[in-house]
Structure 1
Amino acid sequence: MAFDQLTSSAFLLYDEWIKEADPRVEDWPLMTSPFPQTVVILAYIYFVTTLGPRLMENRKPFDLKRPMIIYNISIVIFSLYLIYEFLLSGWANGYSYRCDLVDYSSSPQALRMARTCWLYYFSKFIELLDTIFFVLRKKNSQVSFLHVFHHSIMPFTWWFGVKFAPGGLGTFHALLNCCVHVIMYSYYALSAMGPAFQKYLWWKKHMTTIQLVQFVMVTGHIGQFFFMKDCQYQCPVFLYVIGSYGMIFLVLFLNFYYHAYTKGKRLPKVLQNGACHQNGVHKKVE
């Protein structure tokens, strides 16, 4: 009986809370309720941590070179498009980079921002393929807690962002994230093209640094809100979530950076073991 009452109270609270949602996005795909995306995310976690490795245990790794090249280049193009849309719908078209409120009107610019937020949210599901590729290629060591947590939490939290606050200062981190993804997925595309392109991948360590700078900028931008006396941002709870997200991932990526590079565990082999030259050509020692 107590459990039934608790469940009933939870649904009543949810019904009251959902009334505050943005009516413009109500009928958009995946926006009716958070439950469909929750099922997808839980299925993703189960597959990449349990089912996938089990199915691949006695199989040869899949050769996914061509699909991965196409996938990574597609993400770069899509990220560039999202940057363009975020800029024209606010960040280069009226936003102050300080107290930017959500525009809930039906103006073309406001609707454009809302659609861009939804596209960014949907892109987080496409990016789940990152981990699935790891599993199918039997690169299970790369399916780390940091990786799975990052890919799981982003679509989950962004559902609420699109549902309640598709715009305003809470979207700055999405713009930054798209910029980082252009760099990151360009690296992945070059990496997938094979040994002939390895010479263009010297900047891997700097890619991690760029990610760290991203989280510092996100935390700094959101931090402004707590020092502004008259900012009437409509959904301040999301700013706490984004600020916490920025700080948590800053700590996690700093930990990764320390173990991967400061301690030398993931330095390129050419730096770990030295290099030799054959016929004047720089060659990594494998």
Structure 2
Amino acid sequence: MLQEALSNILTFHDYLKSRTDVRVKDYPLMGSPALMTSILLAYVLFAVSVGPRLMANRKPLRLNTAMIVYNFCMVLLNAFIVYEFMMSGWATTFSWRCDLIDYSNSPEALRMIRTGWLFYFSKYIELLDTVFFVLRKKQSQITFLHVFHHSFMPWTWWWGITLTPAGGMGSFHAMVNAAVHVIMYFYYGLSAAGPRFQKYLWWKKYMTAIQLTQFVLVSIHISQYYFMKDCNYQLPLWIHLIWIYGVFFFLLFSNFWVQAYIKGKRLPSTDDRPKQNGSTSEPISATANGKHLENGSAHHHANGKILFGKVKEI
């Protein structure tokens, strides 16, 4: 039985190698799914077990300077990714409707491939969001969905870059996501800079709206496929997965919006200090019923925090 299972794994591995787009096979982290899966598994173990244990008997680290540098570097990186996506098709030759996968070696296709890989690689850099939480002993911020989002995104993008690196209409959500990250990391950078910059963060209440707009745009754009009779997109599975992704996260953030802004049921964190670095998948703080709502995880429920399947009552 074990021998048969190993044989099937090797067969699947050989199949992947044969299907890997030759234009990306020499890029870092693209040779095999084993390496990137190992990295992401190590990340999950660090986030939920190893990291908290290492910090259990240690004082939380003050990482303000590191977080300021990190956040503003992420602003520049994501701005560059948006620009490259635009120049490799979205602002030049794409129709914004049925844009097919480009399998050629044209300069534009190769530029799109480089940009797609850079977006994929940036997801590994974003794992530092969680590292900062662990080192600052903000374990309540590391929810199940926080870790799921940060590990699932790079894992799924490996498949996209491997099979369809110049993904046509399938790359739209990456460009929009990078644009939103420019805004969010800029917010986090100012927040990490200290209380003297709080007066410049009056727009934080609009961040959840920006996030919701992102998922609406992605869902609407990708939904065009279902109404275009003559769109022969080469890998429809990607279309379905992107649509599911957009709808799922729209519902998630909508629930946060209702709980925080309409019902006002979000309870303040036990730590009254402003959060100085958050995940890019988290809504920003607000004020409801006279209570300050911190920059917590998007995945906290109204009356508790979901922490790896368990509800921690506040």
Instruction: Give the corresponding residue for 1:195.
Output: 195
Q: TM-score, normalised by structure 1?
A: 0.90
Deviation at 1:260, TM superposition (A): 3.4
Instruction: Give the corresponding residue for 2:148.
Output: 149
Name the SS of the counterpart of 2:99 in structure 1: coil
Q: In the aligned structure 1, how far is the partner of 2:263 from the partner of 2:38?
A: 39
Quick check: 2:37–2:155 contact (8 Å CA) kept in 1? yes
Q: In the aligned structure 1, how far is the partner of 2:4 from the partner of 2:291?
A: 64
Deviation at 1:17, TM superposition (A): 4.6
Q: In the aligned structure 2, how far is the partner of 1:256 from the partner of 1:272?
A: 18
Q: In the aligned structure 2, how far is the partner of 1:156 from the partner of 1:219?
A: 21
Q: In the aligned structure 2, how far is the partner of 1:132 from the partner of 1:154?
A: 17
Name the SS of the counterpart of 1:63 in structure 2: coil
After superposition, give the CA deviation of every residue in 1:219-272 in whole Å (9 maximum; x if it has no partner). Answer: 111111122222121222111111111111112222233333334325546972
Task: Describe the shift of the 1:271–1:189 C-alpha distance in structure 2 as closer, same or farther (beyond 3 A).
Answer: farther
After superposition, give the CA deviation of every residue in 1:172-219 in whole Å (9 maximum; x if it has no partner). Answer: 001100110011001000100100011122222211111111111111
% identical aligned pairs: 55
Instruction: Give the corresponding residue for 1:224.
Output: 224
Q: In the aligned structure 2, how far is the partner of 1:262 from the partner of 1:40?
A: 40
Instruction: Give the corresponding residue for 1:36.
Output: 35
Amino acid corresponding to residue 211 of structure 1 in structure 2: Q
Equivalences for residues 239-250 of structure 1 within 5 A: 239-250=239-250
Deviation at 1:145, TM superposition (A): 2.1
Q: In the aligned structure 2, how far is the partner of 1:50 from the partner of 1:31?
A: 28
Quick check: 1:53–1:138 contact (8 Å CA) kept in 2? yes
Equivalences for residues 199-218 of structure 1 within 5 A: 199-218=199-218
Amino acid corresponding to residue 198 of structure 1 in structure 2: Q
Name the SS of the counterpart of 1:54 in structure 2: helix
Deviation at 1:108, TM superposition (A): 1.0
Q: Which has the higher helix share?
A: 1
Instruction: Give the corresponding residue for 1:251.
Output: 251
Which stretches in structure 2 are left out of the alignment for 5+ residues? Answer: 269-284, 293-314
Instruction: Give the corresponding residue for 1:280.
Output: none
Instruction: Give the corresponding residue for 2:173.
Output: 173
Deviation at 1:107, TM superposition (A): 1.2
After superposition, give the CA deviation of every residue in 1:100-146 in whole Å (9 maximum; x if it has no partner). Answer: 11111111111000000000000000000011101111111211222
Equivalences for residues 77-116 of structure 1 within 5 A: 77-116=76-115
Name the SS of the counterpart of 2:19 in structure 1: coil
Deviation at 1:169, TM superposition (A): 0.5
Q: In the aligned structure 2, how far is the partner of 1:269 from the partner of 1:213?
A: 21
Name the SS of the counterpart of 2:31 in structure 1: coil
Name the SS of the counterpart of 2:179 in structure 1: helix
Deviates more, 1:119-128 or 1:215-224: 215-224
Name the SS of the counterpart of 2:23 in structure 1: helix
Quick check: 1:164–1:235 contact (8 Å CA) kept in 2? no
Instruction: Give the corresponding residue for 1:20.
Output: 19
Name the SS of the counterpart of 2:26 in structure 1: coil
Q: In the aligned structure 2, how far is the partner of 1:111 from the partner of 1:119?
A: 12
Q: In the aligned structure 2, how far is the partner of 1:185 from the partner of 1:271?
A: 28
Q: In the aligned structure 2, how far is the partner of 1:17 from the partner of 1:145?
A: 30
Number of equivalenced pairs: 273
Instruction: Give the corresponding residue for 2:302.
Output: none
Deviation at 1:150, TM superposition (A): 1.3
Quick check: 1:113–1:166 contact (8 Å CA) kept in 2? yes
Q: TM-score, normalised by structure 2?
A: 0.82
Quick check: 1:79–1:182 contact (8 Å CA) kept in 2? yes
Q: In the aligned structure 1, how far is the partner of 2:121 from the partner of 2:241?
A: 19
Q: In the aligned structure 1, how far is the partner of 2:256 from the partner of 2:45?
A: 24
Name the SS of the counterpart of 1:24 in structure 2: coil
Amino acid corresponding to residue 185 of structure 2 in structure 1: Y
Name the SS of the counterpart of 1:244 in structure 2: helix
Which stretches in structure 1 are left out of the alignment for 5+ residues? Answer: 275-286
Q: In the aligned structure 1, how far is the partner of 2:151 from the partner of 2:66?
A: 22
After superposition, give the CA deviation of every residue in 1:43-96 in whole Å (9 maximum; x if it has no partner). Answer: 111111111112112211101000000000000001111111000000001001
